[in-house]
């Protein structure tokens, strides 16, 4: 999509420092980090949600998660633990309508939601 910031980043049109990449995805630091490590993993092709992407490109979804593992290793959080989040739709807080996985860690993260026990 012409006006999608993540498409522009994934294509190299908008420069950013990549912390990882594969043939099908790129990983870069979140501009408003919620933890010491906060990296976004984004497919190079435009898809609006992981569920929609899974229907048309299941291998692409698997590739995203493979890059998540590489990012966690590279950022030194694979052994201590990390969280992988994706938001779908306005009620979930999705701000960019392009699949992106948040890889968050580097500190104890606590409960995901208030009252949650993990």
Q: Which residues are catalytic?
A: 100
Report the C-alpha gap between 54 and 94 in whole angstroms. Answer: 18
CA distances (Å), origin 20, targets 4, 17, 69 = 20, 9, 10
Q: Which residues pair with 103 in a beta bridge?
A: 39, 84
CA–CA separation, 41 and 114 (whole Å):
26
Which pair of structure tokens corresponds to residue 104? 């968050």
């Amino acid at each position: 999509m012409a006006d999608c910031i993540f498409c522009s980043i994934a294509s190299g049109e908008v420069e950013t420092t990549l912390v990882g990449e594969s043939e099908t995805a790129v990983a870069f630091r979140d501009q408003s980090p919620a933890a010491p490590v906060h990296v976004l993993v984004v497919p190079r092709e435009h898809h609006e949600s992981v569920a929609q992407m899974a229907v048309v490109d299941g291998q692409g979804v698997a590739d995203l998660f493979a890059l998540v593992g590489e990012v966690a290793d590279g950022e030194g959080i694979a052994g201590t633990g990390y969280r992988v989040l994706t938001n779908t739709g306005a009620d979930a807080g999705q701000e960019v309508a392009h699949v992106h996985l948040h890889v968050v860690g580097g500190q104890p993260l606590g409960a995901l939601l208030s009252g949650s026990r993990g």
